[in-house]
Amino acid sequence: MTQTASAAAKFPPPAPSRFSESGSLAQDLVEAYLAVRSETERRAAPLSAEDQLIQSMPDASPAKWHRAHTTWFFEQFLLGEHCAGYQPFHPDYAFLFNSYYVSAGPRHARHRRGDLTRPAAADITAYRRHVDAAVVKFFRSAEHDTLMRITPLVEVGLNHEQQHQELMFTDILHAFAQNPIPPAYDPAWQFPASTRKGEDWLTLNEGIYAIGHAEESFHFDNEKPAHRALVGPVKLARNLVTNAEWLAFMQDGGYSNATLWLMDGFAAASKEQWQAPFYWREIDGQWHIMTLAGLKPVDPAAAVCHVSYYEADAFARWSGKHLPTEMEWEVAARADQLNDAFGIVWQWTRSAYSPYPGYRAIEGALGEYNGKFMVNQLVLRGSSLATPEGHSRVTYRNFFYPHHRWQFTGLRLADYSV
Ligand SMILES: [Fe+2]
């Protein structure tokens, strides 16, 4: 028993809604595990071995690496710690496929993941099958008490893999966008249509509101402790900012007007020559955007996507509005009053990614999951078109650096003139 195992037992508590405490717990675990694992393979299926190798920038990882790393997570933290007699599939894979867990040992350089022509994609498929068979066998043979103890860890592993499923889309899109004859991941894929219902603005009256995850169901540690916060008065835009609105910002010189921008933001925009959202290209006077279906005309009615925090902040200033805080977003989303809170674009908030009052990272390797990133990043709320089914929550805190653009990121506005 290591620090990791004891930490895993506390992180987070079991989820009674998903895994029953009846005799079918083993079967519930098997089904949940295989469902998530097969979704990863479904997402990888359209990708050739060459597609799976590419790392088009340091922030993106090869699809093959995502498939292997998520497998290593179960091998390292579940089988390695809890399954007596388990032998790792390959002695070098822990080094190759550990991401950032210092406690779990040395690891391959993050920006060199695309150099790994070997192991081949087919080897990773064999690795996944080996670990899947071992995990299923373990679930089916373990004592009920053991299953109860490892359930929280399995939940973390499954949610971790779902996070990488989203990254598989964002990362392959970035790679395909570098190709002068941009390929389609799925020619039939369509950007989700926005919802329009209700008034344009939702008023939140001043009050003390519940924030954070208060239940026992699955959550990441950064969603706790639940606490109370003063919110409002404020109006939140019920709708996501659209491409048409963004085009108006562009046509008004938004990208070149330094007074609209944070200093770091304008420096990034100037250095990188930003003139439109990431993946936008002007062809014969018409804006196009690189999507999972290839290069498509920009739809004015669709939500703007692939904008950085810096751009979102400048747009808000140009609009005479602001970005909401994550607390304001959560209060409005809890009331189910925001159109497209989930499923199209993650929404930038102006809240720094910092710990909730009283937060402490758990001990052991899994304490590295979230806590050590709580500086210099901004919180995004909601979920995106790439987020897997069942992975969204009103308390979910995503986070990226303010210059990041390759995720499916957009925004909605806040207005304090109430
Ligand atoms: Fe990971």
pLDDT in tens, 210-248: 999 999 899 999 999 999 999 999 999 999 999 999 999
Which residue has 């392959």 as its token pair? 172
Q: Are 150 and 10 in contact (CB under 8 A)?
A: no
Query: What's the CA-to-centroid distance between 335 and ligand 1, angstroms?
Result: 32
Query: What's the CA-to-centroid distance between 183 and ligand 1, angstroms?
Result: 26
Query: What's the CA-to-centroid distance between 85 and ligand 1, angstroms?
Result: 25
pLDDT of residue 44: 98
Residues with CB under 5 A from ligand 1 (ion): 99
Domain with CATH 3.90.1580.10 in the chain: 201-415
In which band, very low, low, confident or very high, does the pLDDT at 17 lie, cut at 50, 70 and 90?
Answer: very low
Q: Are 230 and 206 in contact (CB under 8 A)?
A: yes
Domain with CATH 1.20.120 in the chain: 25-177
Average pLDDT over residues 166-185: 97
Query: What's the CA-to-centroid distance between 280 and ligand 1, angstroms?
Result: 29
pLDDT for residue 14 is more than 50: no
Query: What's the CA-to-centroid distance between 351 and ligand 1, angstroms?
Result: 24
- Architecture of the domain spanning 201-415: Alpha-Beta Complex (3.90)
* Nearest-angstrom CA–CA distance, 355 and 363: 16
pTM higher than 0.75: yes
User: What CATH number belongs to 25-177?
Assistant: 1.20.120
Angle subtended by helix axes 263-271 and 309-318, to nearest 10: 110
CA distances from 143 to 4, 228, 366, 367 (A): 20, 40, 24, 27
Helices (H), 3-143: 3-10, 25-44, 49-53, 63-73, 80-82, 93-97, 121-141
pLDDT of residue 100: 87
Which residue has 């977003």 as its token pair? 329
Query: What's the CA-to-centroid distance between 176 and ligand 1, angstroms?
Result: 22
pLDDT of residue 336: 85
Q: Are 73 and 161 in contact (CB under 8 A)?
A: yes
Query: What's the CA-to-centroid distance between 167 and ligand 1, angstroms?
Result: 10
pLDDT per position as a tens digit, 346-388: 999 999 999 999 999 988 888 888 999 999 999 999 999 999 9
Query: What's the CA-to-centroid distance between 186 and ligand 1, angstroms?
Result: 25
Average pLDDT over residues 163-187: 97
Query: What's the CA-to-centroid distance between 70 and ligand 1, angstroms?
Result: 6
